[in-house]
Structure 1
Amino acid sequence: MILRSERLTLRPPEPADAEELAAINGDPGVMRHFPGTLTRAESDAFLGRLIAHHAEHGFGFWSVERREAPRLVGLVGLMRVGFEARFTPAVEVGWRIAPGHQRRGYAEEAARLAIEAGLGPLGLPEIFAWTIPPNEASWRLMEKLGMAPDGEFEHPRLPEGHPMRRHLLYRIARPG
């Protein structure tokens, strides 16, 4: 599945994205609200999981390109949640935009495409998103996307006492 807006193309990730994705995943600014940056090997493994998710489910995190200058500017999309929590099984929407392309509305534009595909042709009943409380840009974007707050949860992949364990949870449901 390929998604398009006036400015963006969202396409399935491919091995050729590895170098640009590693730069994004290794950038401390991009990853400041994650537990840490990814090494090249970790980024390559992450890319492998994204490709496998697309192959298995027909959707996932898409590689985002500007239509006027096709090259990777980030990842945005939908993923099946790989941990247990009060809201799982579930699908999440998420985004990760390269530093030189932030604050241009690409995350919002691409996330809208992903949510529309998820709640429309993909037939998902609802989509979730989460972030740590200090990441105001992300939870404000969740609100702009029409997602509603649904409390908090302790991220089970982070150890007890980790400063990023507490997350704000948002959701959006298919209309009707």
Structure 2
Amino acid sequence: MTEIQTPRLLLRRWDPEDDLVPMAEINADPMVMRWIGDGNPLSLEETAEKIERWEEEWDDEGFGLFAVELLGSGELIGFTGLSVPDFLPEVLPAVEIGWRLGRQFWGQGYASEAAHAALEFALQDRGLDRVVSIAQLANQASVNVMTKLGMTLDRETVHPVHGAPLAVYAIDLTEYQA
């Protein structure tokens, strides 16, 4: 089982029995979801389907989205990790790093801490040469995490389904500072 520990966090595979309800609560928050896809919150059933797909990606690709929990309490705070950004064919082939945290965990450096660990996993453990990250242009908090990771703007584009302006950031292995 793949696990990564940071000073405050544990990144691990999903346990649908324990993780479904807390992740569904995060996905049900309109403020959390406003920058994701069409901006609509997800139901418990939709979250269950997502967790199942995230675990399938681990099996198919050898990487995926980690469940992120606080070391001290074991509380699930969201996810970070790697996925193939099929929704944006113009950047393929690519692997994207992404994150989503419950609102009560924003502004504490957890997203940057978890994403840095996931980026190191991508470039050093999984041997990827390049990683991208995609966010809506107005999502300044995610853009800030991308720049903290050492990523630079690769291109601006538009979501092919929802029409939202997107920023695609990237980092190559040669640019990465562990």
After TM superposition, the score normalised by the length of structure 1 is 0.92
Cα RMSD of the aligned pairs, angstroms, is: 1.3
Q: Give the conservation status (yes or no) of the 8 Å contact 1:14–1:51.
A: no
Report the structure, 1 or 2, having the larger helix content: 2
1:141 and 2:141 matched: no
1:89 and 2:125 matched: no
1:23 to 10, 14, 25: 25
- How far the C-alpha of 1:66 sits from its partner, in A, is 0.9
* Alignment partners' CA distance in 1, 2:144 and 2:130: 19
- How far the C-alpha of 1:118 sits from its partner, in A, is 0.3
1:61 to 60, 65, 69: 65
- How far the C-alpha of 1:83 sits from its partner, in A, is 3.6
C-alpha distance after superposition, 1:41-62 (max 9, x if no partner): 1111111101111122222110
- How far the C-alpha of 1:102 sits from its partner, in A, is 1.3
* Alignment partners' CA distance in 2, 1:39 and 1:143: 32
> SS of the residue aligned with 1:152?
strand
- How far the C-alpha of 1:22 sits from its partner, in A, is 0.5
Q: Give the conservation status (yes or no) of the 8 Å contact 2:88–2:159.
A: no
The percent of aligned pairs where both chains have the same amino acid is 35
2:76 to 59, 65, 72: 72
> SS of the residue aligned with 2:31?
coil
C-alpha distance after superposition, 1:80-117 (max 9, x if no partner): 22245332011000000011211111100000000001
Instruction: Give 2:128's aligned residue.
Output: 124
1:32 and 2:31 matched: no
* Alignment partners' CA distance in 2, 1:29 and 1:85: 27
Instruction: Give 1:9's aligned residue.
Output: 10
- How far the C-alpha of 1:74 sits from its partner, in A, is 0.7
Unaligned 5+ segments in structure 2 are none
Total equivalences in the alignment = 171
1:111 to 112, 115, 119: 115
- How far the C-alpha of 1:143 sits from its partner, in A, is 0.8
* Alignment partners' CA distance in 1, 2:111 and 2:30: 18
Tell me whether 15-24 or 81-90 shows the greater mean CA deviation: 81-90
> SS of the residue aligned with 1:70?
coil
Instruction: Give 2:172's aligned residue.
Output: 173
- The one-letter code of the counterpart of 2:120 is E
Kindly report structure 1 stretches of 4+ aligned residues shifted beyond 4 Å.
none
Q: Give the conservation status (yes or no) of the 8 Å contact 1:91–1:128.
A: yes
> SS of the residue aligned with 1:175?
helix
